[in-house]
Chains A and B, each alone.
Chain A
Amino acid sequence: MARAATTADAFNAVAEPRRRQILDALAGGERPVNELVRVLGLAQPQVSKHLRVLREVGAVDVRENGRQRLYRLDGRALKPIHDWVKAYERAWADRLDELDAVVQELENEEEGRGSDE
């Protein structure tokens, strides 16, 4: 089956509120699908559909445990979102590195003069 283009990356996969609910639920640990059905109050086919999308982008992993299939979160697929915030964080990191350089210079000046505080 062709993969829907709109759900092919992590951004789109988590843009859907129900899928975010699933990820939120899985953030607390791995769960079988029937538990997700209960938490979300959705029909199982719908939950399974959302899980399939999340698995396609790698945000969710599944393993067999006896007769149960346990779903769990895989944070790596969400890295693009993390990177999005990171870009802003990096700008501040660079700014504060520069501030640090100025502060160190002030400290050297102060020490050079002897303590005048």
Chain B
Amino acid sequence: MAVTNSQTAKLTLPTDEQIVITREFDAPRHLVYRAYTTPDLVKRWFHAKRGTVTVAEIDLRVGGAWRYVMVTDSGDEIGFHGEYRELVPDERIVATEVYEGAPEPYPGEEVVNTVTLDEVDGRTIWTLVIQCPSKGVRDAIIDSGMEAGLQDALDLLEELADSLR
């Protein structure tokens, strides 16, 4: 997969059940891994400039649980939790994720997030693959609030991605 310039996250939809996000970091991967797996550091970036992370619990072992809670600027509290499935220090994190505020009919639906860190010349290519249980869940993640029925347009978007750039 092509990687864009360093300051830009790039999203692609390679299959109906996947979301893939890539970004490059100008730092070795062990630092990205540390920032990704240390609770106090997670609190500093997970908010995505849209609120405050109030809870970041990480039991960093296979089978261990994680939970993040964020309070958005508009006052909503949203929680995410899951379990680590696979951990390769500095290289790979596979974990499940449940969005605690998922709308009907998706409460409790679980996605599997795979973060891969590839280091090239001291830079890190970060890739997140969000594997969803269904196209509906995937679209709901992207959609968050738009009316139903438009999700199929994503099929089109995948095929037309080049003409849209």
Inter-chain CA distance A73–B44, complex, in Å, is 43
State whether A98 touches B48 (Cβ < 8 A).
yes
> What's the least CB distance linking B32 to chain A, in Å?
5
A17 adjacent to chain B (CB < 8 Å): yes
Of B3-11, B58-66, B96-104, the one contacting chain A is: B3-11
CB-defined contacts of A68 to chain B, threshold 8 Å? none
**Closest residue of chain A to B150, judged by CB?**
A11
CB-defined contacts of B34 to chain A, threshold 8 Å? 106
B23 adjacent to chain A (CB < 8 Å): yes
Per-residue contact bits, chain A 82-111, to B (CB 8 Å; 1 contact, 0 not): 101100110111111111111110110010
B164 adjacent to chain A (CB < 8 Å): yes
Count: A-B pairs, CB below 8 Å:
121
Inter-chain CA distance A97–B25, complex, in Å, is 9
State whether B45 touches A95 (Cβ < 8 A).
yes
State whether A73 touches B164 (Cβ < 8 A).
no
Interface range, B side: 35 or more
State whether A20 touches B156 (Cβ < 8 A).
yes
> What's the least CB distance linking B2 to chain A, in Å?
15
Per-residue contact bits, chain B 127-165, to A (CB 8 Å; 1 contact, 0 not): 010000000000001111010011011111101100110
State whether A81 touches B157 (Cβ < 8 A).
yes
A49 adjacent to chain B (CB < 8 Å): no
Name the one of B27, B47, B157 contacting A103, with C-beta atoms under 8 angstroms. B27
Interface residues in B57-88 by Cβ distance below 8 A to A read none
State whether B27 touches A88 (Cβ < 8 A).
no
State whether A96 touches B126 (Cβ < 8 A).
yes
Name the one of B7, B9, B31, B49 contacting A89, with C-beta atoms under 8 angstroms. B9
State whether B31 touches A17 (Cβ < 8 A).
no
CB-defined contacts of A27 to chain B, threshold 8 Å? 159-160, 163
Inter-chain CA distance A79–B35, complex, in Å, is 35
Inter-chain CA distance A94–B164, complex, in Å, is 22
- What would 18 more interface pairs be, CB under 8 Å, given A75-B160, A81-B156, A91-B50? A11-B153, A20-B153, A20-B155, A24-B156, A24-B159, A27-B163, A78-B163, A78-B164, A81-B157, A82-B157, A84-B150, A88-B141, A93-B8, A93-B23, A95-B45, A99-B36, A100-B7, A103-B35
17 contacts between A and B (CB under 8 A): A14-B156, A15-B153, A73-B160, A75-B163, A79-B164, A84-B143, A89-B9, A91-B48, A92-B21, A94-B50, A96-B23, A98-B44, A99-B32, A99-B35, A100-B25, A102-B35, A107-B28
Give the top 4 A-B pairs by smallest Cβ distance, nearest first.
A75-B163, A95-B48, A98-B45, A89-B11
